[in-house]
């Protein structure tokens, strides 16, 4: 069987996001990562919890992020407040994305996974680029009257990142570095 890389696709992600939204709901109710997201790696699991908290904070910005089509009915003051909150969160989100991906890619190199299984690592890094691009595209289209739409789009991308990327790439990376002979076993 030939391994086929799976790359993040924001259009396909929209359908799985509805099912994956339960992941965030679980975290909100329990304060814990849903069992299907637990990799067993302390740093990755901590970072995934942080990502879920960002998603939850985004959802709290709008009084009805799932029901409102746009922000026109909220009034200009409320629109500016919401936009300001989202813009403030985006700095943390971008910093997190860059650091998280940088860490994972360093682990791929340090653990020799990049040398031994280049195709798997390449697909993982391509997924990082696709996620970053999808988030950047959403952020670039942010405007005062459509903040709620951007919140929904970010929610979809981030929740799918959590569920799909973790299952396809992060679990494999953790298994690789957890090997007995791994040079980065204590990573």
Can you give the residue ranges of every domain in the chain? 10-177
pTM reported for the whole predicted model: 0.77
Mean pLDDT of 147-169: 85
Model confidence band, residue 129 (pLDDT cutoffs 50, 70, 90): very high
pLDDT in tens, 38-92: 888 888 888 888 888 888 899 889 888 888 888 988 988 998 999 999 988 888 8
H-type helices in 31-117, by residue range?
42-61, 76-110, 113-116
pLDDT recorded at residue 185:
56
Which H or E run contains 130? helix 118-140
Could you tell me which of 17, 42, 19, 23 has the C-alpha nearest to residue 174? Answer: 42
pLDDT recorded at residue 7:
43
Which 3 state secondary structure label does DSSP give 146?
helix
DSSP secondary structure letter of residue 8: -
Q: Residue 103: pLDDT above 80?
A: yes
Which 3 state secondary structure label does DSSP give 41?
coil
pLDDT in tens, 2-16: 333 334 444 444 445
Encoded tokens for 107: 């682990």
Asked if 159 and 23 count as a contact pair (C-beta separation under 8 A), the reply is: yes
Could you tell me which of 53, 63, 83, 65 has the C-alpha nearest to residue 159? Answer: 53
Mean pLDDT of 88-103: 87
Could you tell me which of 141, 99, 112, 116 has the C-alpha nearest to residue 10? Answer: 141
Q: Residue 109: pLDDT above 70?
A: yes
């Amino acid at each position: 069987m030939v391994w086929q890389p799976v790359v993040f696709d924001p259009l396909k992600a929209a359908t799985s996001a509805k099912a994956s939204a339960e992941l965030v709901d679980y975290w909100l109710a329990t304060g814990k990562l849903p069992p299907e997201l637990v990799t067993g790696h302390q740093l990755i699991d901590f970072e995934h919890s942080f990502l879920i908290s960002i998603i939850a904070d985004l959802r709290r910005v709008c009084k009805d992020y799932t029901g409102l089509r746009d922000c026109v009915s909220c009034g200009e003051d409320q629109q500016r407040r919401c936009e300001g909150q989202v813009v403030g969160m985006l700095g943390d989100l971008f910093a997190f994305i860059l650091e998280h991906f940088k860490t994972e890619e360093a682990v791929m190199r340090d653990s020799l996974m990049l040398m031994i299984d280049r195709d798997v690592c390449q697909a993982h890094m391509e997924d990082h680029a696709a996620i970053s691009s999808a988030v950047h595209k959403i952020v670039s289209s942010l405007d005062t009257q459509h903040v709620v739409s951007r919140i929904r789009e970010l929610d979809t991308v981030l929740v799918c990142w959590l569920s799909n990327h973790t299952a396809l790439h992060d679990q494999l990376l953790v298994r690789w570095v957890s090997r007995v002979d791994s040079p980065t076993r204590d990573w």
